[in-house]
Amino acid sequence: MLKIKDKRPSLLRYWTTRYFITLMIGLIVIAFLSVWWIKHSALENRLNITIFMAEEISSRVSNYEQGRFIPRDNNPIFKDPEHRMNGVIYIVDKNGAILSANRSMRQSFKGTLPQDILNNEEQVQKLNAGNGETQEYLVKSPIEINGEIVGWVVIIQPENELIEVKQEYNLLFIMLSSLAILGWAAIYFLSKKLSSPIKEVAIAAKQVQEGNYSFQLPENLHDEETYELVQSFRELADRLQQLEALRTELLAGVTHELKTPVTSISGLLQAVRDDVVTGKDAKEFVAISLKETFRMQKMIADLLDFNSFSVNQLSIINEHHFINRVVEETAYQWKHSQQDNRIKLEIRLLEEDEQIETDAMRLKQVLFNLLNNAKQAIEKEGKVTLSMNKEDDLLWITIQDTGCGIPIEEQSLIFERFYRGDNKKFKVRGLGIGLPFSKMIAHALGGDLILVESSTKGSTFKVSLPLNGTNENP
């Protein structure tokens, strides 16, 4: 039974939701802390105001008619609008007897304040209301006449009234709601801006998967990471398109290269079998067939060697060799194998022979390939120069020719596997693995193969080899 894949949310929805949840959690924490701070500040400020009021009342009472206490109902102090409040104001004598109050006396006091409240050194005290649940705050201030305490001003207010701050809560709610809306909007638009190019890259990736390399990606990207992502994907798609073209061309090229000698061999052998040619001509036809067979074997061997190098299965045997002798032998063997007088080969060896650790057979293979390429680039008469020089810890072997050169648009592709330029494709038969194979061998020897320059006047390739140390096998 096929499993139905869970539908994943879009990048915009996924991160917007999580950012918003994080924002809300942060705002809720801020709200709780703000409410606590507002309550604490309101309580502290209102208690300070109550203390000031108690001290102000005690001062007015002590100066009122030289200390005579007026009965509660006629006390003008309580008629002052400043002293009208939700709390209860008591004026008591030094023994705690309540002489006057702005409201009805609390039943629990029974006309007298407890002496322990008056004797307590704390100016602000916290009490339990009569119901046992409501908390109250008591603020007292002494009434002094001629330096003697003759009574007390006591103000009692419920805690819930002291911390009641509806207006501040409304402002806090408006502020946090505005921050939530603004934060969500900012998160949404920023996430949308971030997810938009990524979404376009995902769509383009599906098109590439289907073999369509014609897609449009945004150009004007300001952040570095998104720009690099888009550019890397664009370069990757171009690279895949090139490889796809090379793969198609390889299939056609290999088919053509193998079909041609097979057809030639088949025709030649049939002519010999049917006695179309006899005697000396028949032997010549057989010789040609053997030559074509040898060429097929060489192409297959090149493919096998190339594949072995690609998977690191072809070993390198490093031994100590004098480099002048290796290069001189290579040049001699190549020159006598060509039997072509139109190519002049010039050799420039090191003034002092250098002994290096390398695989002479593989090095000769690289140099043979470069010399053959130089010969193919020279259409009529020309010159190939094989020279050496030392630089730091490297030995450089340079192969320079006076051929037609490599077009500029093809120079960056010559080391691609199975790539053959347009000019070489129709003039020279092969699989297009000579230079890539040579570069792989050079890397295996601990060096490199590079194209220094190429123009209509010729091309220059360089092979580098380490002078010191032992090269590791791939």
Buried residues in 235-258 as b, exposed as e (16+ CB within 10 A)? eebeeeeeeeebeeebeebeeebe
Contact by Cβ (8 Å): 447, 396? no
Q: Report which of residues 102 and 74 the model is more confident about.
A: 102
What is the amino acid identity at position 317?
A: I
Place of tokens 């067979």: 293
The average confidence (pLDDT) of the chain is 78
Please give the structure tokens belonging to residue 274.
Answer: 């049917």
Q: Report which of residues 330 and 196 the model is more confident about.
A: 330
pLDDT at 77 exceeding the cut of 60: no
Rounded CA separation 146/377 (Å): 125
pLDDT at 474: 39
Please give the structure tokens belonging to residue 113.
Answer: 């304040």
Name which of 70-74, 147-151, 270-274 the model is least confident about.
70-74
Rounded CA separation 372/380 (Å): 15
pLDDT at 455 exceeding the cut of 70: yes
Q: State the angle between helix axes of 224-273 and 280-310 in degrees (0 to 180), rounded to the nearest 10.
A: 160
Contact by Cβ (8 Å): 456, 405? yes
- Mean predicted confidence (pLDDT) in 69-78: 48
Answer yes or no: pTM beyond 0.85: no
pLDDT tens-place string over residues 378-395 = 877 888 999 999 888 889
State the pLDDT confidence band at 464, using cuts at 50, 70 and 90. Answer: very high
Rounded CA separation 48/46 (Å): 5
Name which of 54-63, 340-349, 448-457 the model is least confident about.
54-63
Ordered by where they begin, the domains of the chain are: 12-167 (3.30.450.20), 219-314 (1.10.287.130), 319-466 (3.30.565.10)
Rounded CA separation 443/367 (Å): 14
Please give the structure tokens belonging to residue 466.
Answer: 């380490």
- Which range has the top average pLDDT, 148-157, 164-173, 252-261? 148-157
pLDDT at 465: 92
